[in-house]
A = this chain, B = another copy of it.
């Protein structure tokens, strides 16, 4: 049997994660409205980039995908909760997400907040209940700790606060990197790091993969800012130019559009260097670099 193409691999894992997410909800005995609100956003599509990063890392170490499925599920729950809370009227006040009404538009604000809280909490339960024979208790603790750091006050939540505070201000590059490293970077990074932990990576491989994922996270954000200028509404699922409308500092506004493109290719370059230094099978992770550098949505 030949090796899957990246497209096959990517599609297969997307289906796997989406099935695992719906299974995880089926195991819950909770009020129906709550489950419906959680499920609505969990199944609202998206690229499933974070699970894909985790699976591609496992593949790099020649591990089976089952090993990473609960962590992938937990990551996607946390990513989804963050989108639900970010979209709330008191935050970004968005009516649409990926072309569909946002959670609070469908279920109301109270249930949207609680669906987010539930997804966040449940993600830690899913991690604590991992049962694969190759996952030791020590690994579980380490994964839970890293996930909490990536998502909490020093990670994603801290980045969101800094982002709010930076609105309507001209930020310096370092301030923007502070925000993005936390708001989107740390959870993306965890997706790779978790794969390294599950694969018993050597300390050197671990550090290289961490660096790889940090450059990749910044590249992801820069591409996002570029898309806000160059993309089409149909492709990105929200109005083009919304950053300018919101008076947000972006990589193009700070570095010019060409400068942002230059910065993007630098981060992709450094990401790849660290990846090659790992000496693992890196073809899928390399494809993800390309995907991020050139994505149109």
What 0/1 readout, one digit per residue, does chain A (73-111) give for beta carbons within 8 Å of chain B? Answer: 000000001000100101100000000000000001111
Cβ–Cβ contact B88 & A30, under 8 A? no
Taking a contact as CB atoms under 8 Å apart, the answer to whether B109 and A153 are in contact is no
What is the distance, in angstroms, from A60's C-beta to the closest C-beta of chain B? 26
Knowing A31-B158, A161-B31 touch, does A152 contact B122 (C-beta < 8 A)?
yes
Smallest CB gap from A111: residue in B: B161
Cβ distance A116 to chain B, nearest Cβ, rounded Å: 8
Q: Taking the complex as formed, is A286 at the interface, i.e. its CB lies under 8 A from any CB of chain B?
A: no
In the complex the two chains form, what is the Cα distance from A148 to B141 in whole Å?
A: 14
Distance (Å) between the CB of A92 and the closest chain B CB? 9
Complex Cα gap A56–B30 (Å)? 31
- Give the distance in Å from the alpha carbon of A117 to the alpha carbon of B164 in the complex: 15
A21-66 CB contacts (< 8 Å) to partner B: 28-31, 33-35, 38
Give the shortest distance, in Å, between A98 (CB) and chain B (any CB).
22
CB proximity of A183 to chain B, nearest CB, Å: 11
**Contact for A153 among B34, B85, B145, B152, CB less than 8 A:** B34
Q: Which residues of B contact A257 (CB under 8 A)?
A: none
In-complex Cβ contact of A128 among B31, B33, B109, B141 (8 A): B141
Contact: B125 with A158, CB < 8 Å? no
**Cβ of A120 under 8 Å from chain B:** yes
Indicate how many identical chains form the complex.
2
List B contacts of A127 (CB < 8 A). Answer: 144
Judging by beta carbons under 8 Å apart, are B113 and A33 in contact? no
Q: Tell me whether A169 is interfacial, beta carbon within 8 Å.
A: no
What residues of B have a CB within 8 angstroms of the CB of A81 in the complex?
117
Say yes or no: A148 contacts B122, CB within 8 Å. Answer: yes
Query: Is there a chain B Cβ closer than 8 Å to A121's Cβ?
Result: yes
Look across to chain B and name the residue whose beta carbon is closest to the beta carbon of A138.
B137
Q: Which residue of B lies closest to A117 (CB)?
A: B157
Bound-state CA distance A158–B154 (Å) is 27
> With contacts A28-B153, A141-B141, A154-B29 known, is A125 near B148, CB below 8 A?
yes
Minimum-distance CB pairs A-B, first 9? A121-B152, A125-B148, A90-B109, A128-B145, A137-B137, A118-B153, A30-B153, A30-B158, A34-B161
